[in-house]
Amino acid sequence: MKLRTTTPSALSQALALSAALSLSSGAAQSQEGSHDWVKAAADGQAAQVIEWRRHLHQNPELGNQELKTSAFVAEHLRQMGLEVHSGVAGTGVVAVLHGAHPGPTVGLRADMDALPIKEATGLPFASQAQGQFFGKTVDVMHACGHDGHTSMLLGAAQILSAHQDQVSGTVVFIFQPAEEGPSNIDIYAKNAQSWGARRMVQEGVIEQYGIQAMFALHVLSSSRTGHITYKVGTAFNSSDSFRIRLHGTQTHGSAPWLGADPIVAAGSVISAMQTLVSRRTDVTQGMGVVSVGSIHAGTANNIIPADLEMQGTIRADNARIRKTLTEALPDLVEQTAAAQQVKAETKVVEMMPLTINSAQLTRALAPAMSKAADGNAKEVFQLLPGSEDFAYFAEKVPGMYVFLGQTAPGIDLATAPVVHSPNVMLDENTLVTGVRAHIEFVLGYAEYAKQLTPHKVKL
Protein backbone atom coordinates (compact mmCIF):
# COMPACT_ATOMS: atom_id res chain seq x y z
CA MET A 1 0.00 0.00 0.00
CA LYS A 2 3.01 2.29 0.31
CA LEU A 3 3.22 3.09 -3.37
CA ARG A 4 5.34 6.15 -3.93
CA THR A 5 5.70 6.15 -7.69
CA THR A 6 5.36 9.29 -9.74
CA THR A 7 2.47 9.66 -12.15
CA PRO A 8 4.52 9.00 -15.32
CA SER A 9 5.99 5.70 -14.13
CA ALA A 10 2.69 4.40 -12.77
CA LEU A 11 1.00 5.40 -15.99
CA SER A 12 3.62 3.69 -18.11
CA GLN A 13 3.19 0.54 -16.00
CA ALA A 14 -0.53 0.73 -16.51
CA LEU A 15 -0.11 1.22 -20.24
CA ALA A 16 2.28 -1.70 -20.40
CA LEU A 17 -0.36 -3.80 -18.65
CA SER A 18 -2.98 -2.63 -21.12
CA ALA A 19 -0.70 -3.56 -24.00
CA ALA A 20 -0.06 -6.96 -22.46
CA LEU A 21 -3.79 -7.51 -22.38
CA SER A 22 -3.97 -6.79 -26.11
CA LEU A 23 -6.06 -3.67 -25.76
CA SER A 24 -5.95 -1.71 -28.95
CA SER A 25 -3.39 1.05 -29.21
CA GLY A 26 -6.30 3.45 -29.73
CA ALA A 27 -7.51 2.75 -26.21
CA ALA A 28 -4.03 3.17 -24.79
CA GLN A 29 -3.73 6.52 -26.54
CA SER A 30 -7.01 7.75 -25.20
CA GLN A 31 -6.18 6.60 -21.65
CA GLU A 32 -3.00 8.61 -21.95
CA GLY A 33 -4.76 11.94 -22.39
CA SER A 34 -4.83 13.77 -19.09
CA HIS A 35 -8.14 14.89 -17.61
CA ASP A 36 -6.84 18.03 -15.98
CA TRP A 37 -10.37 19.39 -15.83
CA VAL A 38 -11.40 16.51 -13.55
CA LYS A 39 -8.68 17.25 -11.03
CA ALA A 40 -9.37 20.97 -11.14
CA ALA A 41 -13.12 20.48 -10.73
CA ALA A 42 -12.72 17.98 -7.87
CA ASP A 43 -10.22 20.21 -6.06
CA GLY A 44 -12.53 23.19 -6.49
CA GLN A 45 -15.43 21.23 -5.05
CA ALA A 46 -13.57 19.52 -2.18
CA ALA A 47 -14.98 21.82 0.53
CA GLN A 48 -18.53 21.14 -0.64
CA VAL A 49 -18.06 17.36 -0.51
CA ILE A 50 -16.60 17.64 2.99
CA GLU A 51 -19.58 19.72 4.07
CA TRP A 52 -21.99 17.08 2.72
CA ARG A 53 -20.01 14.32 4.38
CA ARG A 54 -20.11 16.06 7.77
CA HIS A 55 -23.86 16.60 7.50
CA LEU A 56 -24.39 12.92 6.68
CA HIS A 57 -21.95 11.83 9.38
CA GLN A 58 -23.87 13.79 12.00
CA ASN A 59 -27.21 12.38 10.82
CA PRO A 60 -26.70 8.65 10.28
CA GLU A 61 -29.60 6.28 9.66
CA LEU A 62 -29.85 2.50 9.82
CA GLY A 63 -30.46 0.16 6.89
CA ASN A 64 -33.85 0.62 5.23
CA GLN A 65 -34.56 3.70 7.33
CA GLU A 66 -32.45 6.17 5.34
CA LEU A 67 -35.35 8.61 4.94
CA LYS A 68 -33.60 11.90 5.73
CA THR A 69 -30.46 10.74 3.94
CA SER A 70 -32.27 9.82 0.75
CA ALA A 71 -34.27 13.07 0.82
CA PHE A 72 -31.00 14.99 1.19
CA VAL A 73 -29.44 13.06 -1.69
CA ALA A 74 -32.50 13.42 -3.97
CA GLU A 75 -32.75 17.14 -3.27
CA HIS A 76 -29.14 17.76 -4.26
CA LEU A 77 -29.43 15.58 -7.35
CA ARG A 78 -32.51 17.55 -8.45
CA GLN A 79 -30.65 20.82 -7.94
CA MET A 80 -28.03 19.47 -10.35
CA GLY A 81 -30.78 19.13 -12.95
CA LEU A 82 -30.72 15.34 -13.01
CA GLU A 83 -33.64 12.98 -13.58
CA VAL A 84 -34.22 11.61 -10.06
CA HIS A 85 -36.13 8.51 -8.95
CA SER A 86 -36.79 8.09 -5.22
CA GLY A 87 -38.20 5.12 -3.34
CA VAL A 88 -36.12 2.58 -5.26
CA ALA A 89 -35.76 -0.62 -3.21
CA GLY A 90 -37.42 1.24 -0.34
CA THR A 91 -35.25 4.20 0.51
CA GLY A 92 -32.88 4.14 -2.47
CA VAL A 93 -32.37 6.94 -4.97
CA VAL A 94 -31.38 6.65 -8.62
CA ALA A 95 -30.43 9.61 -10.82
CA VAL A 96 -29.66 9.66 -14.52
CA LEU A 97 -27.33 11.92 -16.46
CA HIS A 98 -27.34 11.93 -20.24
CA GLY A 99 -24.00 12.99 -21.67
CA ALA A 100 -23.70 15.28 -24.65
CA HIS A 101 -22.27 12.49 -26.80
CA PRO A 102 -23.44 8.96 -27.54
CA GLY A 103 -21.85 6.15 -25.58
CA PRO A 104 -22.37 3.34 -23.08
CA THR A 105 -24.37 3.38 -19.85
CA VAL A 106 -22.52 2.87 -16.59
CA GLY A 107 -23.76 2.64 -13.01
CA LEU A 108 -21.95 4.23 -10.07
CA ARG A 109 -23.05 3.03 -6.67
CA ALA A 110 -22.78 4.46 -3.16
CA ASP A 111 -24.30 2.95 -0.02
CA MET A 112 -26.10 5.25 2.43
CA ASP A 113 -26.71 3.27 5.62
CA ALA A 114 -25.01 3.47 9.02
CA LEU A 115 -24.41 1.01 11.86
CA PRO A 116 -25.76 0.45 15.41
CA ILE A 117 -22.55 1.71 17.03
CA LYS A 118 -21.94 4.49 19.58
CA GLU A 119 -19.42 6.88 18.09
CA ALA A 120 -16.25 7.50 20.12
CA THR A 121 -14.20 9.66 17.75
CA GLY A 122 -14.74 12.92 19.65
CA LEU A 123 -15.11 14.77 16.34
CA PRO A 124 -16.99 18.10 16.51
CA PHE A 125 -19.55 16.62 14.09
CA ALA A 126 -19.69 13.22 15.80
CA SER A 127 -23.05 11.48 15.72
CA GLN A 128 -25.43 11.82 18.66
CA ALA A 129 -28.10 10.02 16.70
CA GLN A 130 -30.18 7.10 17.83
CA GLY A 131 -32.32 4.76 15.80
CA GLN A 132 -34.52 1.69 15.98
CA PHE A 133 -32.68 -1.56 15.42
CA PHE A 134 -35.19 -4.41 15.36
CA GLY A 135 -37.38 -2.52 17.82
CA LYS A 136 -34.58 -1.55 20.20
CA THR A 137 -33.28 2.00 20.56
CA VAL A 138 -29.58 2.08 19.69
CA ASP A 139 -26.86 4.62 19.04
CA VAL A 140 -26.10 5.04 15.35
CA MET A 141 -22.83 5.91 13.64
CA HIS A 142 -21.47 6.08 10.12
CA ALA A 143 -18.65 3.71 11.07
CA CYS A 144 -18.26 2.13 7.65
CA GLY A 145 -17.62 5.31 5.67
CA HIS A 146 -20.91 5.28 3.79
CA ASP A 147 -21.25 9.00 4.59
CA GLY A 148 -18.06 9.45 2.57
CA HIS A 149 -19.26 7.17 -0.22
CA THR A 150 -22.54 9.08 -0.55
CA SER A 151 -20.89 12.50 -0.55
CA MET A 152 -18.23 11.40 -3.08
CA LEU A 153 -20.88 10.14 -5.47
CA LEU A 154 -22.86 13.37 -5.03
CA GLY A 155 -19.64 15.21 -5.83
CA ALA A 156 -19.11 13.18 -8.98
CA ALA A 157 -22.74 13.76 -10.01
CA GLN A 158 -22.36 17.50 -9.59
CA ILE A 159 -19.14 17.70 -11.59
CA LEU A 160 -20.40 15.46 -14.40
CA SER A 161 -23.66 17.46 -14.55
CA ALA A 162 -21.66 20.63 -15.00
CA HIS A 163 -19.49 18.99 -17.69
CA GLN A 164 -22.08 17.11 -19.75
CA ASP A 165 -20.11 18.08 -22.85
CA GLN A 166 -17.30 15.81 -21.61
CA VAL A 167 -19.58 12.81 -21.11
CA SER A 168 -20.18 10.15 -23.76
CA GLY A 169 -23.14 7.99 -22.87
CA THR A 170 -25.30 7.80 -19.78
CA VAL A 171 -24.37 7.73 -16.12
CA VAL A 172 -26.72 6.18 -13.57
CA PHE A 173 -26.04 7.27 -9.99
CA ILE A 174 -27.26 4.62 -7.56
CA PHE A 175 -27.64 5.50 -3.88
CA GLN A 176 -28.34 2.21 -2.20
CA PRO A 177 -29.96 1.46 1.16
CA ALA A 178 -29.13 -1.27 3.68
CA GLU A 179 -25.74 -2.49 2.49
CA GLU A 180 -25.02 -3.54 6.09
CA GLY A 181 -28.32 -5.40 6.18
CA PRO A 182 -31.79 -4.33 7.19
CA SER A 183 -32.67 -2.94 10.60
CA ASN A 184 -36.32 -3.87 10.29
CA ILE A 185 -36.69 -7.20 8.45
CA ASP A 186 -36.55 -10.61 10.15
CA ILE A 187 -34.39 -12.35 7.58
CA TYR A 188 -35.53 -15.77 8.84
CA ALA A 189 -39.22 -14.97 8.53
CA LYS A 190 -41.23 -16.77 5.86
CA ASN A 191 -41.30 -14.70 2.67
CA ALA A 192 -38.88 -12.16 4.17
CA GLN A 193 -38.47 -9.22 1.83
CA SER A 194 -35.06 -8.65 0.27
CA TRP A 195 -33.10 -5.45 0.77
CA GLY A 196 -30.23 -3.33 -0.48
CA ALA A 197 -28.45 -4.20 -3.71
CA ARG A 198 -30.35 -7.47 -4.15
CA ARG A 199 -33.68 -5.65 -3.96
CA MET A 200 -32.45 -3.01 -6.41
CA VAL A 201 -31.42 -5.71 -8.85
CA GLN A 202 -34.74 -7.56 -8.33
CA GLU A 203 -36.59 -4.32 -9.03
CA GLY A 204 -34.81 -4.24 -12.38
CA VAL A 205 -32.45 -1.28 -11.95
CA ILE A 206 -29.86 -2.81 -14.28
CA GLU A 207 -32.32 -3.54 -17.11
CA GLN A 208 -34.46 -0.43 -16.64
CA TYR A 209 -31.54 1.89 -17.28
CA GLY A 210 -29.58 -0.44 -19.57
CA ILE A 211 -26.51 -0.43 -17.32
CA GLN A 212 -23.52 -2.14 -18.96
CA ALA A 213 -20.94 -1.94 -16.15
CA MET A 214 -20.97 -1.06 -12.46
CA PHE A 215 -18.44 0.76 -10.30
CA ALA A 216 -18.20 1.32 -6.56
CA LEU A 217 -15.53 2.09 -4.00
CA HIS A 218 -15.06 1.61 -0.28
CA VAL A 219 -12.84 3.46 2.14
CA LEU A 220 -10.10 1.40 3.77
CA SER A 221 -8.19 2.16 6.97
CA SER A 222 -5.16 0.02 6.13
CA SER A 223 -4.42 2.17 3.09
CA ARG A 224 -3.17 5.74 2.86
CA THR A 225 -5.29 8.76 1.96
CA GLY A 226 -5.44 9.25 -1.80
CA HIS A 227 -4.34 5.70 -2.63
CA ILE A 228 -6.52 3.27 -4.56
CA THR A 229 -6.18 -0.51 -4.45
CA TYR A 230 -8.12 -3.13 -6.35
CA LYS A 231 -8.18 -6.88 -6.67
CA VAL A 232 -8.87 -8.70 -9.90
CA GLY A 233 -11.35 -11.58 -9.62
CA THR A 234 -12.87 -12.41 -6.23
CA ALA A 235 -12.78 -9.22 -4.20
CA PHE A 236 -14.99 -10.35 -1.30
CA ASN A 237 -16.21 -13.61 0.15
CA SER A 238 -19.78 -14.77 0.06
CA SER A 239 -21.78 -14.39 3.26
CA ASP A 240 -24.75 -16.47 4.37
CA SER A 241 -26.56 -16.63 7.69
CA PHE A 242 -28.03 -19.55 9.56
CA ARG A 243 -30.34 -20.00 12.51
CA ILE A 244 -30.65 -23.29 14.34
CA ARG A 245 -33.44 -24.00 16.81
CA LEU A 246 -33.05 -27.10 18.96
CA HIS A 247 -36.07 -28.57 20.70
CA GLY A 248 -35.55 -31.05 23.53
CA THR A 249 -37.57 -31.92 26.61
CA GLN A 250 -37.32 -29.85 29.76
CA THR A 251 -36.30 -31.56 32.99
CA HIS A 252 -34.56 -31.06 36.34
CA GLY A 253 -30.79 -30.51 36.11
CA SER A 254 -30.30 -33.38 38.57
CA ALA A 255 -32.17 -35.90 36.36
CA PRO A 256 -31.16 -35.38 32.73
CA TRP A 257 -32.27 -38.89 31.74
CA LEU A 258 -35.85 -37.75 32.18
CA GLY A 259 -35.55 -35.18 29.35
CA ALA A 260 -33.60 -34.39 26.18
CA ASP A 261 -30.92 -31.75 26.61
CA PRO A 262 -30.62 -29.17 23.79
CA ILE A 263 -27.54 -27.58 25.42
CA VAL A 264 -25.43 -30.75 25.26
CA ALA A 265 -26.79 -31.39 21.76
CA ALA A 266 -25.71 -27.85 20.79
CA GLY A 267 -22.16 -28.70 21.84
CA SER A 268 -22.16 -31.66 19.45
CA VAL A 269 -23.79 -29.61 16.69
CA ILE A 270 -21.21 -26.82 16.97
CA SER A 271 -18.31 -29.27 16.83
CA ALA A 272 -19.87 -31.19 13.96
CA MET A 273 -20.33 -28.02 11.92
CA GLN A 274 -16.55 -27.45 11.97
CA THR A 275 -16.17 -30.71 10.05
CA LEU A 276 -18.03 -29.13 7.13
CA VAL A 277 -14.92 -27.12 6.30
CA SER A 278 -12.30 -29.67 7.37
CA ARG A 279 -13.91 -32.87 5.97
CA ARG A 280 -16.51 -31.97 3.38
CA THR A 281 -15.12 -29.13 1.28
CA ASP A 282 -12.46 -29.41 -1.39
CA VAL A 283 -9.98 -27.05 0.23
CA THR A 284 -7.78 -27.02 -2.88
CA GLN A 285 -10.49 -24.79 -4.39
CA GLY A 286 -10.49 -22.09 -1.70
CA MET A 287 -11.53 -21.48 1.87
CA GLY A 288 -14.64 -21.46 3.98
CA VAL A 289 -15.62 -20.53 7.52
CA VAL A 290 -18.58 -21.57 9.67
CA SER A 291 -18.94 -19.47 12.82
CA VAL A 292 -21.60 -19.44 15.53
CA GLY A 293 -22.05 -15.88 16.79
CA SER A 294 -24.93 -16.16 19.22
CA ILE A 295 -26.43 -18.87 21.37
CA HIS A 296 -29.30 -18.57 23.83
CA ALA A 297 -30.99 -21.07 26.08
CA GLY A 298 -32.18 -21.60 29.60
CA THR A 299 -33.08 -19.56 32.65
CA ALA A 300 -31.62 -21.21 35.76
CA ASN A 301 -28.65 -23.36 36.79
CA ASN A 302 -30.74 -26.40 37.68
CA ILE A 303 -33.23 -26.57 34.83
CA ILE A 304 -32.40 -28.28 31.55
CA PRO A 305 -34.38 -26.15 29.10
CA ALA A 306 -36.58 -27.37 26.29
CA ASP A 307 -35.30 -24.99 23.62
CA LEU A 308 -32.13 -23.39 22.35
CA GLU A 309 -31.43 -20.99 19.50
CA MET A 310 -28.12 -20.21 17.84
CA GLN A 311 -27.17 -18.08 14.87
CA GLY A 312 -24.08 -17.96 12.77
CA THR A 313 -22.44 -17.07 9.50
CA ILE A 314 -20.95 -19.00 6.60
CA ARG A 315 -18.24 -17.41 4.45
CA ALA A 316 -16.44 -18.75 1.39
CA ASP A 317 -14.19 -17.43 -1.37
CA ASN A 318 -15.35 -20.01 -3.87
CA ALA A 319 -18.86 -20.63 -5.17
CA ARG A 320 -18.58 -24.43 -4.95
CA ILE A 321 -17.38 -24.30 -1.35
CA ARG A 322 -20.24 -21.94 -0.55
CA LYS A 323 -22.68 -24.42 -2.06
CA THR A 324 -21.21 -27.36 -0.13
CA LEU A 325 -21.35 -25.53 3.19
CA THR A 326 -24.83 -24.08 2.82
CA GLU A 327 -26.34 -27.29 1.48
CA ALA A 328 -24.67 -29.75 3.84
CA LEU A 329 -25.24 -27.83 7.06
CA PRO A 330 -28.97 -28.51 7.70
CA ASP A 331 -28.73 -32.29 7.33
CA LEU A 332 -25.61 -32.51 9.49
CA VAL A 333 -27.22 -30.39 12.21
CA GLU A 334 -30.51 -32.27 12.17
CA GLN A 335 -28.94 -35.72 12.30
CA THR A 336 -26.41 -34.76 14.99
CA ALA A 337 -29.21 -33.41 17.17
CA ALA A 338 -31.45 -36.39 16.44
CA ALA A 339 -28.76 -38.72 17.78
CA GLN A 340 -29.43 -37.07 21.15
CA GLN A 341 -33.24 -37.14 20.87
CA VAL A 342 -33.27 -33.44 20.10
CA LYS A 343 -35.17 -32.05 17.13
CA ALA A 344 -33.44 -29.36 15.03
CA GLU A 345 -34.96 -26.75 12.75
CA THR A 346 -32.32 -25.17 10.57
CA LYS A 347 -32.69 -22.19 8.27
CA VAL A 348 -29.92 -20.96 5.99
CA VAL A 349 -30.47 -17.55 4.38
CA GLU A 350 -28.42 -16.50 1.39
CA MET A 351 -27.08 -13.04 2.13
CA MET A 352 -24.36 -12.09 -0.34
CA PRO A 353 -22.72 -13.97 -3.19
CA LEU A 354 -19.01 -13.65 -3.92
CA THR A 355 -18.12 -10.17 -5.14
CA ILE A 356 -16.19 -10.67 -8.34
CA ASN A 357 -14.32 -7.93 -10.14
CA SER A 358 -14.42 -8.59 -13.86
CA ALA A 359 -10.80 -9.23 -14.83
CA GLN A 360 -11.23 -7.64 -18.24
CA LEU A 361 -12.96 -4.54 -16.92
CA THR A 362 -10.70 -4.10 -13.90
CA ARG A 363 -7.50 -4.37 -15.93
CA ALA A 364 -8.85 -2.07 -18.62
CA LEU A 365 -9.90 0.59 -16.11
CA ALA A 366 -6.78 0.34 -13.95
CA PRO A 367 -5.22 3.33 -15.80
CA ALA A 368 -8.33 5.37 -14.97
CA MET A 369 -7.80 4.62 -11.26
CA SER A 370 -4.14 5.55 -11.57
CA LYS A 371 -5.19 8.86 -13.08
CA ALA A 372 -7.70 9.48 -10.27
CA ALA A 373 -5.05 8.76 -7.62
CA ASP A 374 -2.17 10.63 -9.31
CA GLY A 375 -0.31 7.37 -9.84
CA ASN A 376 -1.10 5.89 -6.44
CA ALA A 377 -3.26 3.01 -7.62
CA LYS A 378 -2.20 -0.59 -7.53
CA GLU A 379 -3.43 -4.14 -7.75
CA VAL A 380 -3.50 -6.22 -4.57
CA PHE A 381 -3.76 -9.98 -4.31
CA GLN A 382 -5.00 -10.62 -0.82
CA LEU A 383 -8.68 -10.91 -0.07
CA LEU A 384 -10.24 -8.89 2.73
CA PRO A 385 -12.41 -11.03 5.01
CA GLY A 386 -15.65 -9.06 4.58
CA SER A 387 -18.53 -9.33 2.15
CA GLU A 388 -20.36 -6.78 -0.01
CA ASP A 389 -23.79 -6.73 -1.56
CA PHE A 390 -22.31 -4.94 -4.59
CA ALA A 391 -21.96 -8.63 -5.54
CA TYR A 392 -25.56 -8.59 -6.82
CA PHE A 393 -24.79 -5.81 -9.31
CA ALA A 394 -21.57 -7.53 -10.38
CA GLU A 395 -23.49 -10.75 -11.03
CA LYS A 396 -25.62 -8.97 -13.63
CA VAL A 397 -22.99 -6.91 -15.46
CA PRO A 398 -19.19 -6.60 -15.23
CA GLY A 399 -18.32 -4.84 -12.00
CA MET A 400 -15.31 -3.06 -10.59
CA TYR A 401 -15.02 -2.43 -6.87
CA VAL A 402 -11.98 -0.59 -5.52
CA PHE A 403 -10.67 0.52 -2.15
CA LEU A 404 -9.81 4.10 -1.29
CA GLY A 405 -7.30 4.68 1.50
CA GLN A 406 -8.68 6.77 4.35
CA THR A 407 -5.80 6.99 6.83
CA ALA A 408 -3.94 10.30 7.05
CA PRO A 409 -0.14 10.49 6.75
CA GLY A 410 1.59 10.05 10.11
CA ILE A 411 -0.92 7.50 11.41
CA ASP A 412 0.25 3.89 11.55
CA LEU A 413 -1.65 1.93 8.91
CA ALA A 414 -1.25 -1.26 10.92
CA THR A 415 -3.05 0.09 13.98
CA ALA A 416 -5.49 2.65 12.54
CA PRO A 417 -9.03 1.74 13.72
CA VAL A 418 -10.82 -0.18 11.00
CA VAL A 419 -14.35 0.27 9.69
CA HIS A 420 -17.05 -0.76 12.19
CA SER A 421 -14.86 0.53 15.03
CA PRO A 422 -16.34 3.38 17.13
CA ASN A 423 -13.01 5.19 16.66
CA VAL A 424 -12.64 4.84 12.89
CA MET A 425 -11.46 8.04 11.20
CA LEU A 426 -12.05 9.00 7.59
CA ASP A 427 -9.39 11.45 6.47
CA GLU A 428 -11.48 13.90 4.45
CA ASN A 429 -8.52 14.71 2.19
CA THR A 430 -9.16 11.39 0.47
CA LEU A 431 -12.66 12.36 -0.68
CA VAL A 432 -11.35 14.29 -3.67
CA THR A 433 -9.62 11.15 -4.96
CA GLY A 434 -12.86 9.20 -4.62
CA VAL A 435 -14.78 11.83 -6.56
CA ARG A 436 -12.15 11.66 -9.31
CA ALA A 437 -12.26 7.85 -9.34
CA HIS A 438 -15.99 7.88 -10.16
CA ILE A 439 -15.50 10.42 -12.93
CA GLU A 440 -12.43 8.71 -14.39
CA PHE A 441 -14.37 5.43 -14.43
CA VAL A 442 -17.10 7.08 -16.50
CA LEU A 443 -14.61 8.65 -18.93
CA GLY A 444 -12.39 5.57 -19.07
CA TYR A 445 -15.29 3.19 -19.66
CA ALA A 446 -16.58 5.26 -22.59
CA GLU A 447 -13.18 4.87 -24.26
CA TYR A 448 -12.92 1.19 -23.36
CA ALA A 449 -16.42 0.46 -24.68
CA LYS A 450 -15.42 1.68 -28.14
CA GLN A 451 -13.41 -1.49 -28.66
CA LEU A 452 -15.98 -3.83 -27.17
CA THR A 453 -18.71 -5.80 -28.73
CA PRO A 454 -21.22 -6.93 -26.12
CA HIS A 455 -20.25 -10.61 -26.29
CA LYS A 456 -16.65 -9.75 -25.40
CA VAL A 457 -17.54 -8.56 -21.91
CA LYS A 458 -16.96 -11.38 -19.50
CA LEU A 459 -17.55 -11.54 -15.78
Q: In the bound complex, what is the minimum distance in angstroms from residue 113's beta carbon to Zn ion?
A: 9
Which CB, 39 or 109, lies closer to Zn ion?
A: 109
Return the closest-CA partner of residue 160 out of 32, 27, 49, 42: 42
Which CB, 153 or 159, lies closer to Zn ion?
A: 153
Residue type, 213: A
The continuous run of DSSP H or E covering 252 comes out as strand 251-252
Q: In the bound complex, what is the minimum distance in angstroms from residue 336's beta carbon to Zn ion?
A: 33
The continuous run of DSSP H or E covering 409 comes out as none
Q: Strand 303-304 to strand 251-252: parallel, antiparallel, or no bridges (unpaired)?
A: antiparallel
Which CB, 272 or 383, lies closer to Zn ion?
A: 383
CA distances from 243 to 12, 273, 313, 349, 386 (A): 51, 13, 9, 8, 20
Alpha carbons 288 and 279: distance in angstroms, whole number? 12
The percent helix, strand, coil of the chain (3-state, each to 5) is: 40, 25, 35
Alpha carbons 150 and 148: distance in angstroms, whole number? 5
Q: In the bound complex, what is the minimum distance in angstroms from residue 388's beta carbon to Zn ion?
A: 8
Segments in 134-235 forming alpha helices (H): 146-162, 196-202, 205-209
Q: In the bound complex, what is the minimum distance in angstroms from residue 177's beta carbon to Zn ion?
A: 13
Alpha carbons 386 and 141: distance in angstroms, whole number? 19
Which CB, 49 or 273, lies closer to Zn ion?
A: 49
Q: In the bound complex, what is the minimum distance in angstroms from residue 164's beta carbon to Zn ion?
A: 30
Give the nearest residue (CB) to Zn ion.
144
* Residues at the interface with Zn ion (CB under 5 A): 144
Which CB, 151 or 281, lies closer to Zn ion?
A: 151
Which CB, 144 or 426, lies closer to Zn ion?
A: 144
Q: In the bound complex, what is the minimum distance in angstroms from residue 363's beta carbon to Zn ion?
A: 25
